[in-house]
Amino acid sequence: MFYNLQEIFDMQEKLDSHIHSLHNVDYENTYKKRILAFLVEIGELANETRCFKYWSLKPSSDKKIVLEEYVDGIHFVVSLGIFLKYIDREKTEVFNCKKNISMTECFLDLYNSACNLYNNLNLMTYKHLLSRFLGLGEKLGYSYNEILSAYYAKNKINYQRQENNY
């Protein structure tokens, strides 16, 4: 399966440019922070799914809350792709997180992929990470249209936050 991410990349590029001008930063001096931010967002997402909490009977957070956390990760992973000049935006492969792979294993694989990007900052490693993150969204049960709609909403909030000195 493939997604056309061109629109998300275009919107993220505009948001990044806005943030860069407001905070006098650029991709080069923030990419490590973006990788760490992405890792933090993965952790927040995992926490909302509760997939690793073997000691608890409490269910996952509401699907809408989990989607909001997932979309927070989209902002950072796409921003990293802009920095790395990822161009296959109209046909981005979605990793098939097979049914026999647990959600916990998907998250661990994603952490590993993000750390690999930190250690090997190149397009091949980035594509691997992006594909796996998109596959996690599918495993969580979200359609591309749901992800896109949630991205639009969060992108708007992110602009508002910048205007309010977030």
The tens digit of pLDDT for each residue in 41-57 reads: 999 999 999 999 999 99
**In Å, how far from its chain's centre is CA 121?**
17
Residue 163 CB-density burial (10 A; 0-12 exposed, 13-18 middle, 19+ buried): exposed
- Note whether 34 and 123 are within 8 A (CB): no
How does residue 98 score in pLDDT terms, banded at 50, 70 and 90? Answer: confident
Beta bridge partners of 3: 92
CATH class for the region spanning 2-163 = mainly alpha
Residue 62, pLDDT above cutoff 80: yes
At a CB cut-off of 8 Å and minimum separation 6, what does 75 contact?
Answer: 12, 15, 151, 154, 155, 158
3 state DSSP class of 88: coil
> In residues, how long is the chain?
166
- Note whether 94 and 4 are within 8 A (CB): no
38: tokens are 């992405």
Q: Domain extents for the chain? A: 2-163
Q: In angstroms, rounded to a whole number, what is the distance separating the alpha carbons of residues 42 and 46?
A: 6
What does the pLDDT average to over 60-65?
97
Residue 166, pLDDT above cutoff 80: no
Q: What is the share, in percent, of the chain residues with pLDDT greater than 70?
A: 100
Q: In angstroms, rounded to a whole number, what is the distance separating the alpha carbons of residues 81 and 118?
A: 13
What does the pLDDT average to over 90-94?
90
- DSSP conformation class of 3: E
How does residue 129 score in pLDDT terms, banded at 50, 70 and 90? Answer: very high
